[in-house]
């Protein structure tokens, strides 16, 4: 029985990158197998010595999956941007090596996922998997039914292509400023840019769901571990 696995899968799982990014690392010459430069398409087993940047990549690896309620004003990068702190300032040191699954901009809040499982991150963010994201949005003024229909039914032309997503009245509010937005894309500041294109400014943007994961009652700035059993159900 062949117990070998593809090198890019091995690196993705242990470095928290996608398989495509792992291939880039292999192609760049930063990876070696048994003291020889690695090649694309290579397969390895537990008896092989794999190194990245001259450091051994251990065969065993434990995956970790976190859900976090990111407060407004924090960035998702590891480094602070100007006066804006990073969400990593809120994480316990044991979680500092985890990578965010996608991004929320500084002015947005809500559910952000973090993991060291590159395959999981890829499947949650690549457009071909169509993972729905749900947001609560507040606008600076009433959205007209016409503009609501334009965004939901026809889409709005932006510099990077057409933007189309569901815009649904939020029944918690008796106005036309509060909406639920459902989309499966993840372009940079897409919701904000779409509303700006038709003359509105987003006052608040709060993500409450990402794929099957919901924010529920998680407090701002807090994290909770997603059980491995939950992740495995998604991979079946």
The residues, ordered by sequence, that sit 6+ positions from 30 with a Cβ below 8 Å of its Cβ are 52, 53
How far apart CA 134 and CA 130 sit, in angstroms, is 13
Give 88's DSSP letter. G
Which one from 83, 89, 94, 105 is the annotated catalytic residue?
105
The residues, ordered by sequence, that sit 6+ positions from 193 with a Cβ below 8 Å of its Cβ are 158, 163
CB 134 within 8 A of CB 164: no
Give 77's DSSP letter. S
Active site residue 119: no
Give 90's DSSP letter. G
CB 13 within 8 A of CB 63: yes
Q: Which residues have a catalytic role annotated?
A: 105
């Amino acid at each position: 029985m062949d117990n070998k696995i593809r090198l890019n899968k091995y690196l993705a799982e242990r470095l928290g990158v996608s398989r495509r990014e792992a291939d880039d690392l292999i192609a760049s010459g930063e990876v070696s197998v048994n003291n020889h430069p690695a090649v694309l398409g290579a397969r390895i087993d537990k008896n092989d010595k794999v190194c990245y940047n001259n450091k051994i990549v251990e065969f065993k690896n434990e995956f970790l999956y976190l859900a976090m309620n990111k407060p407004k004003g924090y960035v998702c990068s590891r480094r602070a941007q100007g006066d804006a702190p990073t969400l990593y300032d809120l994480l316990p040191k044991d979680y500092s090596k985890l990578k965010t699954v996608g991004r929320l901009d500084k002015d947005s809040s809500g559910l952000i996922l973090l993991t060291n499982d590159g395959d999981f991150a890829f499947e949650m963010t690549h457009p071909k998997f169509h993972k729905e994201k749900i947001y609560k949005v507040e606008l600076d003024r009433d959205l007209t039914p016409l503009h609501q229909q334009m965004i939901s039914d026809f889409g709005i032309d932006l510099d990077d292509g057409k933007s189309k997503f569901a815009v649904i009245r939020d029944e918690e509010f008796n106005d036309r400023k509060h909406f639920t937005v459902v989309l499966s894309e993840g372009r940079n500041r897409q919701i904000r840019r779409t509303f700006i294109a038709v003359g509105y400014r987003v006052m608040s943007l709060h993500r409450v769901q990402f794929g099957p994961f919901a924010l529920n009652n998680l407090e701002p700035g807090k994290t909770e571990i997603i059980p491995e059993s939950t992740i495995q159900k998604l991979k079946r």
